Amino acid sequence: MDRPVIRLRNTATRRVEPFVPIDPANVRLYLCGPTVYDRAHLGNARNVILFDVLTRLLRHDYGAPHVTYVRNFTDVDDKINARAAETGRPIADITAETARWYLEDMAALGNAEPDHMPRATGYIPQMIAMIEDLISRGHAYAAEGHLLFAVDTFPNYGQLSGRAVDDMIAGARVEVAPYKRDPMDFVLWKPSGEGEPGWDSPWGRGRPGWHIECSAMAKDLLGPSFDIHGGGNDLLFPHHENERAQSCCADPETEFARVWLHNEMLLVEGRKMSKSLGNFFTVRDLLDRGVPGEVIRFVFLSTHYSKPMDWTEAKAREAEGTLRRWRAMAEPGGGVDPRVLDALRDDLNVPGAIAELHRIAKAGDGATLAASAALLGLLTPELGHWAGAGDDNLVEAVLAARLAARAEKDWARADTLRDALLAAGVVVTDGKGRGWEAGPGYDPSKLEGVA
């Protein structure tokens, strides 16, 4: 069966290249998920939205039953241990609550849940088995209760991130410990002290290092080779580099992931997000401030994943106005516009797809607009609660009151109502004052009690 070609930016080759699945009847992708100890910050949402759109496209082209999407939860980690010690709460309670928060926040942004959401603590036997394989093949060694991967046994180490080993030592998060044979060797398993989570293993009671979990879970759920592995570019080194090394050494006849997809980072009002700058937001912060999840999603999609994305209040206001106009005209029964598909297949050019949605909206084709936007996770019924008809009724009431004031030649009241409409972001679209649309900063709640 001939299918349209999807092209993706493969970090492993540094090229945008045609995507060729290992098995077209079983397309498999894995996204590194959150460490569940706190709310997801705004930047955490970017690769979730990216992979949600990618999965929608793959399911459109290959058929939903032929695509498997996995995103994990890291629920064993020193940050979680520290949060438990700080709060006095059981680790299981913290991870369960935080995972629930994460799913609620990602759903509020229009993301469908993956097919599998494994938790690291559910795959300890698989991790132990993989470590044993690495030891038997000469790629891992024991030292002072730790099991470590020997980087010098994998000649291709550094190829994924494109770094020389000496540079990686100098500038990366590398734990230099006296028991390591080489500074770049990384922990596969470490001993657990009293009060720390631990599991029995051939090397004593302990817990896994960070990197082994994704290798073990991906292999168990997707096989030793699968199609696409992704995450933010902050995970490229050391996490993904180490994942690739240990997986290729445990299963030397395989390639682990064929395509590596990394998104760039997030800025807020042109600056790196930082608590010290006062521009650090969680997804929930914005939702609680009344920014609709669909608006957040639209702003994220408006920048290509390979470029830094700048979240600004101005972009959010503009996105809200656009979505309100589109929702007012969207209707069921249409098909996806081919030019929207072409844009998405060209390295997930979502900004290009959004440009096509503007063209479709300008042409007044509400049915095609709705179907095409749904492929981006926009204009869906699930995300439409924020643009309810009650808001429109407020606007209509003020417009009617202004028309009545003008008819009575009460120019002062007419001007007051006009100013109220402008302050609420309402744009009057005809000379008679009856037609309108939502503009930047649209907030109909400002019209309550005005009429």
Phi/psi for 188 (5° steps) reads: -100, -35
Residues 6 or more apart whose Cβ sits within 8 Å of residue 214: 30, 32, 72, 239, 243
pLDDT at 207 over 80: yes
pLDDT of residue 387: 78
Does 390 have pLDDT greater than 60?
Answer: no
- Give yes or no for a cis peptide into 238 (omega within 30° of 0): yes
pLDDT reading at 108 higher than 70? yes
What average pLDDT does this structure show over 205-223? 96
Stretch among 93-97, 395-399, 413-417 having the lowest mean pLDDT:
395-399
For range 208-224, the mean pLDDT: 97
pLDDT at position 391, please?
65
Task: Name the average pLDDT for the chain.
Answer: 92
Per DSSP, helices labelled H in 209-308 are 212-222, 241-250, 283-288, 293-301
Listed range (11-20, 133-142, 157-166, 263-272) with the worst mean pLDDT: 157-166
pLDDT at 389 over 70: no
Topology of the domain comprising 7-263? Rossmann fold (3.40.50)
**Of all residues in the chain, what percent carry a pLDDT higher than 70?**
96
Angle at 213 between CA 211 and CA 215, to 5 degrees: 80
The whole-number pLDDT of residue 450 equals: 85
Rounded to whole angstroms, the Cα distance separating 32 from 310 reads 22
Q: What is the pLDDT of residue 164?
A: 72
Q: pLDDT-based confidence at 83, cuts 50/70/90? A: very high
Distance CA 348, CA 342 (A): 9
pLDDT of 266 reads 93
Mean pLDDT for the stretch of residues 172-179: 67
Strands (E), 87-208: 140-143, 146-149, 186-191, 206-208
Report the C-alpha gap between 219 and 404 in whole angstroms. Answer: 69
Give pLDDT, residue 241. Answer: 97
Is residue 153 within 8 A of residue 249, CB to CB? The reply is yes
Among 70-74, 149-153, 288-292, 435-439, name the one with the lowest average pLDDT: 435-439
- Euclidean distance between CA atoms 420 and 307, whole angstroms: 39
- Tens-digit pLDDT profile for residues 406-421: 989 999 999 999 999 9
Torsion angle of C-alpha atoms 381, 383, 384, 387, degrees rounded to 10: -170
**Which pLDDT score, from 0 to 100, does residue 166 have?**
63
- Of 38, 31, 33, 32, nearest to 101 (Cα)? 38
pLDDT digits (tens, 9 = 90+) for 109-166: 999 999 999 999 999 999 999 999 999 999 999 999 999 999 999 999 999 999 876 6
Give the domain ranges of the chain: 7-263, 267-386, 390-447
For 372-385, what is each residue's pLDDT tens digit? Answer: 999 999 999 999 88
pLDDT at residue 174, rounded to an integer: 58
